[in-house]
Amino acid sequence: MSEGAAWIAGAIAGITAGLIPYFVARSRTNMTLAWGALAGCIVLGALGGALLAAPACLILTVVALMKPAAADGQTPLNYWSIAIPAGLLICLTALGFVAISLPANFITGKITVPIVFISLFLGGYLASGLIWLANREATKSESDDIAARISSIGDNATSQNKSEK
């Protein structure tokens, strides 16, 4: 593979990796982190392929989950916006490990096809867990908001009764 083709293939792996923290940060309305994560993963992917972009994806996704949602709230995370890049990232990482560890004449469809199917399957599970983590915070903040509104209703009714007397 030529050097230019390796950079392009690595950048594609970086885009795939960067989409995961991008969508997580975007759902939490943190667009600076979203675009920064995507750009960082693309650069790392171009430099080292999926083997560098995957750890960056993991770290940036955790950072996006740890940051509180912006004041205007967050939107629920879509399953497919995480499942597809997660499956592709696992697939590219696994194929990268196979390409590094096995001689070229051993890499056939008997090895690559199961890797692709297992990767997509694992990507679905990864997406389900990630979406549960990301959307869990939205549910908690919504319930806190509803609890605050309910408690303020009682306060408003009490103050209105006092003013009527």
Condensed to tens digits (0 to 9), the pLDDT of residues 27-67 reads 888 889 999 999 999 999 999 888 888 899 989 998 888 87
Averaged pLDDT for residues 121-145: 71
Q: Which residues contact 16 (CB under 8 A, 6 or more apart)?
A: 45, 50, 53, 85, 88, 89, 92
Structure-block tokens of residue 150: 């309910």
The CA–CA distances, whole Å, from 87 to 20, 81, 112, 147 equal: 11, 11, 14, 38
Our measurement of the distance from residue 103's CA atom to the centroid of its chain's CA atoms, rounded to an integer in Å, reads 33
Least confident of 20-29, 68-77, 150-159: 150-159
pTM across the whole model? 0.67
What is the rounded average pLDDT for all residues in the chain? Answer: 78
| Cβ neighbours for 120, distance < 8 A, ≥ 6 positions apart | 87, 90, 91
What was the pLDDT predicted at 39? 95
Contact, 33 vs 63, CB < 8 A?
Answer: yes
Of 35 and 91, the structure prediction assigns the larger pLDDT to 35
